[in-house]
Chains A and B, each alone.
Chain A
């Protein structure tokens, strides 16, 4: 085979680089050629130079802490992680049948899901542009599958609109865009846009509106073959006698506008939620498990950190050994990467500079509650032809997400039966006993899917302010706190550096945790090598 026979266009050049130098080199080449997104991730980290046996204590075995431990270990450091939980992953977590979860306050839930079913209480989807996380999944053999964010056949619902009847996303989306297109075309043809748009451009605009909006030849959006191409049919086309499709009547623009259901559409347009999204096969927790497999014997579980003390020689960390009745122990190292949530770190005795301490104290953590509900049959698929995706509602549960796996195979399924984020309802659900949360999630969900009433079996809920290892969902930055504290939080303070989603501009996303860890250890390593 002769590569020389190929014309050296851009694609062939990339293939050549990929074949000879590996994926990382190709990624770097792609970046230079302007093809890849502007991610701060530049492929697997390379920490050049000998740390000469330097040791690092890492606090927290979430994705940030484990990323730091794995990469520092590979660079020649002696690493040890202290983790409060008895499992790796932190907020990267899946609850499965047989799991027992006790929240702050003491309420214990026993998950009764069938085998293979789970709830991801924390992160649950991965955007295609989270390059670092995707790269680690590839390197650590975490199988991914598509996460369905947008399903045109899922629902938008308001108790105050359309008599409380859920509407298909497809109908709202097609009819909203069709209605706007018709309106704009009408304005253009009346000359109302003449001041703003040239005649030539208006001709193109009309052509675009007709194609984009499903307008007919007279620029009307109405029941017919043109609108049906987007909104589907009242009766789908079939075969044989009586097969002719019946077009449906679009929902009027006035009804859509006043329903406010159009607000739900932006959940599919935002950069963070655009297709393609992914999820690990078998639950988000598979990622944390895979990271932990890279760290045999490096994670000390059941260790509650109570103090971090540094001097010119090193760092001493005091922790309680929870398996031994909370007996205090101390370990020492040359350096410390602290990947504890700020809710925890702000309560621990740690001698850092005043600006760093102020930054640690500056970030409140958001409220969030998730509900996992098991049903005896997948009625959303069997009855309603909803395969994956999310329905949005103004009810306190806010959304219902259908599983993005196991389609069309019958059997049981677990829905994300609610997902609140900040706002009063999130606090109110948190204040309830778990059984009450589930009862209400089922009651509210039944307003959208009446099958809930007969098909519900069991459920679990996680209210993040009652999660013992985080005391909150994720760091909530404002423009003011970013301005006053963010850079300080990122500094290497003596022998301590922080990592985690809270030390990133991608808060609450796993990508932020990993990128912050990579940045922290890159700077830490440079300091070690220089000293």
Chain B
């Protein structure tokens, strides 16, 4: 069986993970996450996690350090040759299940970044997005919901 080919950038990942470990293996993340040495960032903010799981805690920090990479700090999205959708006042967010699916399984070009989050982190960031940026959906989801949706 053909192994998923390493990317040209595989060397930096390989430094801290076995070559056969594909980055989307949840089990591997947790193993590596605990094995990787803790790094103290040289400044208080923003966060740089150690290992292969996000270290941020709380929806605001998770959003600012991860989601904002594409959807932007104000959640207004961005437009180039393609676009990152705005999450501000986005009607699709009415469904927490929709966000669960996108976060845990990806959507088109978007990677499944929720695989690098714990159940609690994933729930926190979904609840945060659904109650900020002009969104006010009060049906919060729980870590148990995330666990079931993985």
Mark A residues whose CB is within 8 Å of B.
84, 104-105, 123, 125, 158-160, 260, 263-264, 266-267, 270, 272-273, 304-305, 340-344, 346-348, 360-361, 363-368, 390, 392-396, 398-399, 419-425, 427-432, 436, 439-440, 443-444, 463, 465-474, 476-479, 482, 505-509
A267–B84 Cα gap in the complex (Å)? 34
Chain B CB within 10 Å — which of A399, A424, A432, A505 has the most? Answer: A424
Q: List 11 A-B contacts (CB under 8 A).
A: A272-B6, A344-B81, A348-B82, A364-B112, A396-B39, A424-B49, A428-B46, A428-B47, A428-B66, A478-B22, A508-B8
Docked-complex contact A421 and B65, CB < 8 angstroms: no
Taking CB atoms, residues of chain B closer than 8 Å to A264 are 15
Partner of B108 from the list A346, A443, A469 (CB cut-off 8 Å) is A346
Q: Is B26 an interface residue (CB 8 A)?
A: no
Report the separation of the CA atoms of residues A120 and B108 in the bound assembly, to the nearest whole angstrom. Answer: 27
Digit string of B38-66 for contact with A (CB within 8 Å is 1, else 0)?
A: 01011100111101111100000000111
Asked whether B9 is an interface residue with its Cβ less than 8 Å from the other chain, the reply is yes
Q: What size tier do the contact residues of chain B reach?
A: 35 or more
**Measured CA separation A123–B9 after assembly (Å):** 9
Given A264-B15, A468-B80, A471-B82, A506-B37 contact (CB < 8 Å): no
Q: Which 8 A-B pairs rank lowest in CB-CB distance, beginning with the nearest? A: A468-B80, A343-B109, A421-B9, A430-B69, A160-B37, A424-B49, A398-B12, A104-B78
Q: Is B68 in the interface zone, CB < 8 Å from A?
A: yes
Bound: A159/B22 CA distance, A: 25
Given A508-B9, A509-B8, residue A159 in contact with residue B110 (CB < 8 A): no
Cβ distance A435 to chain B, nearest Cβ, rounded Å: 12
| Contact indicator A159/B39 (Cβ below 8 Å) | yes
With A366-B111, A444-B42 in contact, do A507 and B7 touch (Cβ < 8 Å)? yes
Chain B interface (Cβ within 8 Å of chain A)? 1-2, 4-16, 19, 22-24, 36-37, 39, 41-43, 46-49, 51-55, 64-70, 72-73, 78-84, 106, 108-113, 116
Q: Which residues of B contact A421 (CB under 8 A)?
A: 7, 9-10, 12-13
Chain B residues near A348 (CB-CB < 8 A): 82
Docked pose: A508 CA to B39 CA in angstroms: 29
CB of A470 within 8 A of CB of B81, answer: yes
Q: Please, which residues of chain A bring their CB within 8 A of the CB of B47?
A: 428
Q: Across the interface, do B70 and A420 meet the contact criterion of CB distance under 8 Å?
A: no
Seed contacts A272-B6, A432-B46, A507-B5; 19 additional CB < 8 Å A-B pairs: A104-B79, A270-B10, A366-B9, A390-B11, A393-B15, A396-B39, A396-B48, A421-B7, A422-B9, A422-B23, A424-B54, A424-B55, A428-B48, A431-B46, A440-B48, A466-B69, A469-B80, A476-B7, A508-B8
Chain A residues with CB below 8 A from B9, complex form: 366, 368, 419, 421-422, 473, 508
Residue of B nearest to A273 (CB): B11
Tell me, in angstroms, the Cα distance from A344 to B68 when the chains sit together: 19
